[in-house]
């Protein structure tokens, strides 16, 4: 299967859902997605049942706040970027989370490739599914705004899919639930 299905995999524990977002440094893309998705989850009244986390496959920035440009882009759009501290991904994450969404193909290779619960964040992008969230680290401010736009529309799509996932029976194969 090239992409995760638009229906989310069933929860490991019925009634709750844990989503991990992964990039390289955990200071630009996955923190942006973390802040936006967490806010959308709260706005939908699902924050008592849905947990969002993020990490980077690289460890250079562990404990650091978000990249200043990513933080400024979020703040200008009305989000709070100040609570983020970078974490490093490890091999326990795919077993701990219901869904692991990575930003690009290199991240996907670094986490060991696709599974029923591991795929690209933009597999769930309603506009252009299956692409990468491009790394803005070495570019200009346009890159951060592009990332935010992709993240906002994809987070909306994830939140639309969450009620069905929360209502699904516990872990089975993808598609087992009606």
- Which region among 18-26, 74-82, 117-125, 166-174 touches ligand 4NP (by CB under 6 A)? 18-26
Query: In terms of Cα–Cα distance, which of 19, 24, 118, 127 is closest to 70?
Result: 24
Asked whether position 148 contacts ligand 4NP by CB under 6 A, the answer is no
Query: In terms of Cα–Cα distance, which of 61, 76, 77 is closest to 28?
Result: 61
How far from the centroid of its chain's Cα atoms is residue 11's Cα? 16
Asked whether position 158 contacts ligand 4NP by CB under 6 A, the answer is no
Asked whether position 135 contacts ligand 4NP by CB under 6 A, the answer is yes
Q: Which of 4, 19, 29, 108 binds ligand 4NP (CB under 6 A)?
A: 29
Three-state DSSP at 54 gives strand
- Which region among 20-28, 94-102, 119-127, 167-175 touches ligand 4NP (by CB under 6 A)? 20-28
Q: Which of 4, 20, 24, 168 binds ligand 4NP (CB under 6 A)?
A: 24
Asked whether position 79 contacts ligand 4NP by CB under 6 A, the answer is no
Q: Which of 137, 146, 156, 157 binds ligand 4NP (CB under 6 A)?
A: 137
Q: How far is CA 156 from CA 25, 55, 109, 111, 150, in A?
A: 24, 21, 26, 25, 10
Strands (E) in 60-161, as ranges, are 99-102, 118-120
DSSP assignment letter at 10: P
Q: How many residues bind ligand 4NP (CB under 6 A)?
A: 11
Contacts 24+ apart (CB under 8 A), 111-117: 111/22, 111/57, 114/1, 114/4, 116/4, 116/9, 116/173, 116/174, 117/9
Which CB, 94 or 136, lies closer to ligand 4NP? 136
28 has catalytic annotation: no
Q: Which residues are catalytic?
A: 23, 29, 135
Binding site for ligand 4NP (CB under 6 A): 23-29, 56, 60, 135, 137
């Amino acid at each position: 299967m090239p992409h995760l299905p638009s229906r989310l995999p069933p929860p490991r524990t019925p009634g709750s859902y844990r989503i991990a977002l992964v990039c390289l440094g955990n200071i630009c893309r996955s923190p942006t997605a973390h802040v936006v998705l967490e806010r959308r989850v709260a706005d939908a009244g699902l924050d008592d049942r849905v947990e969002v986390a993020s990490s980077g496959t690289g460890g250079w920035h562990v404990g650091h706040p978000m990249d200043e440009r990513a933080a400024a882009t979020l703040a200008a759009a009305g989000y709070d970027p100040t609570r983020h501290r970078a974490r490093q991904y490890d091999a326990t994450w795919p077993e701990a989370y219901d869904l692991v969404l990575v930003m690009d193909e290199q991240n996907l290779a670094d986490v060991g490739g696709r599974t029923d619960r591991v795929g690209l964040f933009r597999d769930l992008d309603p506009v252009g599914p299956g692409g990468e969230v491009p790394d803005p680290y070495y570019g200009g401010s346009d890159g951060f705004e592009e990332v935010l736009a992709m993240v906002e529309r994809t987070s909306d799509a994830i939140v639309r899919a969450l009620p069905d996932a929360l209502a699904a029976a516990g872990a089975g194969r993808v598609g087992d639930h009606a």
